[in-house]
Amino acid sequence: MRYAETGFNLEVDLTRGNIEKVATDPRDTALYLGGLGTNAKILWDRVGPEVTPFSPENLLIFSAGLLCGTPATGCNRTILSTISPQTELMAFSMMGGFWAPELKYAGYDKVVLRGKSEKLVYLWIHNDTVEIRDASHLAGKGSVETAEMIRQELKQPKAQVAAIGLAGENRVYYASVEQGRSSASRGGIGAVMGDKRVKAIAVRGTKDINLAKPEEFITLCNDVLAYIKHREDNPIKGVMTILQGLGSPQEMKVHDEKWHTENFMWGNSRTRRKGFWNEEIEKAWTDTLEGSRTRLISCFNCPMKCGATISMPGVPTYMMKCFTKLTYTMAAYSDLDFGLRIAQKATEYGLDGFSTPQVMAFALELLEAGILKPDDFPGLPESNEDRFFYLLDMIVNREGIGDVLAKGTYWAAKEIGNGAEEYAHNTIKKHEQLPLKLSMLNPIYFLMYSVGEKINITQIEGQFPQAPFPKREHREKFCEDWIQVPHEKFKQYFIDWELRGENSIPYYPTVEMTCDIVEWQEMMHYIDDALGQCAGLSSFPLKPPYHIHNYPKFISAGAGIDMDEETLSDAAKRYRTLVRAVNIRRGMRREDDRPPENHWKKRFPELEEKLLDGYYQLKGWNKEGIPAKEALEKMGLGYVAEDFIQRGILTEDETADVQTETQTQ
């Protein structure tokens, strides 16, 4: 019997309309865990670098994490992987909610879509019955609307539905897949789904998920619940509100938006509005939030309530998750009321809440600068807010200039030319990032931004504080119950970290320390994405209930795979490298490992190169950021090395200019 996982994938060939239930190899689970790990393996094996995002050969994988559907609190992520139209690299976006556990209960770990359907279809998975059904009546429908309609026509109120909106159908490069209170937004996964002509996947399951060592597993779960309670009662002092507790940023709970509105950039990452937050605004925004938020809601098997149901007069009810609360508001220099209204429409269209507002602000900036002309915007409304609604429609319907903007700021700027590229200044690997502009380069963040292949900083940062605490005694206090560190040295790194003087940024933490810190944080995120664990209870917050010391036990007791800290770190390193390898094979190099153009005012080019060198060295990669032969072989990725040599990406006798002894701990 397989434990925690079901041991079966669904392989759906949309071109031929063929569905197969395929048993998977448990050895792959031991090597790559589940979720992201085995997704990366499938993409490496089956999607060559010549495959373009919108070709039938591109795969779209919906994967439940290894521990989804078990009683592990907060373990509910669906990890979607494909080749992104925007970055042309591997996209791996996650969504919370209820879909992944339901898939497990139906008896599957993954749904692998290949080919392209001729007509718009949806998939209905009900335990052993799997059908491809006509979806022509759902064309153009909103994502939330679609989910409701499917549940009704199937007479299955408990079915979980992941759907795209019009944006996905029209292949907008930053289209999302929406599901209940969650969405997979980054990387344009919705566009690939639309390209395959799949409107939705509905799933309902009533089977068991088994555990290898039941008593042990439940004890671990109870410990996690107890720790969550402990952390609720003991918020972390000395950090901003959203960092004090657990969960993914509980933006729908928080009223005080001084920090975000005054530190993040408005428009298309253009203007920092110091002193924006005042009493009047605080009151207005509080009223808006209180007046529209019906209830705080959670994902499957989690008490944290990071999302909310939003009902506003004249606007259909929808569910919102964390930071989208502010993205549209700030892009349009408007207020929260506008932000929540337009987000409803954008959710139905199925759009990434990070990229979309920036693309719209970018278009209006180009108009102001005379790079785009009034002719490009026929019938442009007068009011600022209406302009954003207008642009949203143009983009989603791919009308006129909207057709160009639908590709995101990077590709649109290239196409528009005439100086537009200077305005596309907030991308990493061609993808829009959080609108931040900071003063002094922070080495930890520099590295995380540069080498992150998840295309989203919040999905890399985490367990190490973002900044030093002003007083040494506070730092020492923080370290007292810091049980999550993989190694005691991290406590010393933090204790010695000062706001000013020798031990301050950018030269402290040192290159070596920075690499250690980044590797730890990155590793935790990668583990989460394989297990299907929400980062909000693990890799993202300070002092979370899940960490490197209890994770191996969860995997052993849950999945019955022998794991200790070392084997788990090795596995995470293995599929992290495999993600890198997929991207390297698609042409990514050192040149691409850099933060947005003007993210920091004060840059340190030499230090930045050293940081990259240091990180590559720690990983066993060469100067170009290519995993070297020795390192690959050591990780059991000899087949990657062979492929690289065959393609001339690595040479046979290349002695990597790196130290291959990768440093754990």
Verify binding: residue 205, ligand SF4, rule CB under 6 A.
Answer: no
Report the partner that residue 180 touches, choosing among ligand SF4, another protein, none (CB closer than 5 to 8 A by kind): another protein
Distance in Å, CB of 71 to another protein, minimum? 5
Distance in Å, CB of 69 to ligand SF4, minimum? 14
CA gap 168, 356 in Å, rounded: 13
Verify binding: residue 546, another protein, rule CB under 8 A.
Answer: no
With CB under 8 A as the contact rule, the residue among 91, 121, 166, 319 that binds another protein is 319
- Nearer Cβ to ligand SF4, position 458 or 569? 458
* 406's tokens: 């639908």
**389-427 b/e with 16+ CB inside 10 Å = b?**
bbbbebbbbbeebbbbbbbbbbbbbeebeeebbebbbbb
Verify binding: residue 214, another protein, rule CB under 8 A.
Answer: yes
With CB under 8 A as the contact rule, the residue among 110, 141, 171, 181 that binds another protein is 181
CB of 87 closer than 8 Å to CB of 455:
yes
Q: Look at the alpha carbons of 46, 49, 55, 58 in this order and tell me if their dihedral is positive or negative.
A: positive
- Only one residue has tokens 């390209």, namely 195
What pairing do the DSSP bridges indicate for beta strands 315-321 and 427-428? unpaired
Report the partner that residue 206 touches, choosing among ligand SF4, another protein, none (CB closer than 5 to 8 A by kind): another protein
Verify binding: residue 310, another protein, rule CB under 8 A.
Answer: no
Verify binding: residue 383, another protein, rule CB under 8 A.
Answer: no
Verify binding: residue 7, another protein, rule CB under 8 A.
Answer: no
Distance in Å, CB of 381 to ligand SF4, minimum? 36
Verify binding: residue 462, ligand SF4, rule CB under 6 A.
Answer: no
Verify binding: residue 217, another protein, rule CB under 8 A.
Answer: yes
Verify binding: residue 621, another protein, rule CB under 8 A.
Answer: no
* Residue 94 CB contacts under 8 Å (≥ 6 apart), including other chains: 77, 78, 79, 80, 184, 459, 529
What pairing do the DSSP bridges indicate for beta strands 78-83 and 427-428? unpaired
Exposed / middle / buried, residue 258 (Cβ in 10 Å: 0-12, 13-18, 19+): middle
* Residue 654 CB contacts under 8 Å (≥ 6 apart), including other chains: 622, 628, 629
Report the partner that residue 124 touches, choosing among another protein, ligand SF4, none (CB closer than 5 to 8 A by kind): none
Residues touching another protein, count (CB under 8 A)? 41
CA gap 389, 167 in Å, rounded: 14
Verify binding: residue 210, another protein, rule CB under 8 A.
Answer: yes
* 602's tokens: 């004060």
Q: Compose the 473-512 pattern: x for residues touching another protein by CB under 8 A, - for all others.
A: ----------------------------------------
- Only one residue has tokens 């990434």, namely 352
- DSSP H helical segments within 1-70, as ranges? 26-32, 35-46
Is residue 161 classed as helix, strand or coil in its secondary structure? strand
- Nearer Cβ to ligand SF4, position 318 or 621? 318
- Nearer Cβ to ligand SF4, position 327 or 426? 327
CA gap 182, 166 in Å, rounded: 17
Verify binding: residue 180, another protein, rule CB under 8 A.
Answer: yes
Report the partner that residue 190 touches, choosing among ligand SF4, another protein, none (CB closer than 5 to 8 A by kind): none
CA gap 114, 57 in Å, rounded: 6
CA gap 506, 307 in Å, rounded: 36
CA gap 82, 211 in Å, rounded: 30
CA gap 242, 248 in Å, rounded: 9
Verify binding: residue 534, ligand SF4, rule CB under 6 A.
Answer: yes
CA gap 64, 195 in Å, rounded: 22
Distance in Å, CB of 537 to ligand SF4, minimum? 5
Verify binding: residue 144, another protein, rule CB under 8 A.
Answer: yes
Distance in Å, CB of 180 to another protein, minimum? 7
Neighbours of 242 (CB within 10 A): 19
Distance in Å, CB of 454 to ligand SF4, minimum? 16
CA 638 to the chain's CA centroid: 29
- Nearer Cβ to ligand SF4, position 326 or 515? 326
Q: Compose the 74-103 pattern: x for residues touching ligand SF4 by CB under 6 A, - for all others.
A: x-x-------------------x-------
- Nearer Cβ to ligand SF4, position 299 or 650? 299
Verify binding: residue 71, another protein, rule CB under 8 A.
Answer: yes
- Nearer Cβ to ligand SF4, position 115 or 247? 247
With CB under 8 A as the contact rule, the residue among 208, 262, 473, 512 that binds another protein is 208
Stretch that binds ligand SF4, among 269-277, 301-309, 386-394, 502-510 (CB under 6 A): 301-309
CA 656 to the chain's CA centroid: 32
Verify binding: residue 306, ligand SF4, rule CB under 6 A.
Answer: yes
Distance in Å, CB of 344 to another protein, minimum? 12
Please write down the HEC assignment for all residues of 335-382.
CHHHHHHHHHHHHHHCECCCHHHHHHHHHHHHHHCCCCCHHHCCCCCC
With CB under 6 A as the contact rule, the residue among 29, 248, 261, 514 that binds ligand SF4 is 248
Stretch that binds another protein, among 70-78, 82-90, 363-371, 534-542 (CB under 8 A): 70-78
CA gap 302, 100 in Å, rounded: 14
* 256's tokens: 């005080």
Report the partner that residue 248 touches, choosing among ligand SF4, another protein, none (CB closer than 5 to 8 A by kind): ligand SF4
| Binding residues for another protein (CB under 8 A) | 69-71, 73, 98, 105, 144, 148, 157, 180-181, 205-211, 214-215, 217-218, 225, 228-229, 294-303, 305, 309, 311, 317-319
| Binding residues for ligand SF4 (CB under 6 A) | 74, 76, 96, 247-248, 298-299, 302, 304-306, 534, 536-537
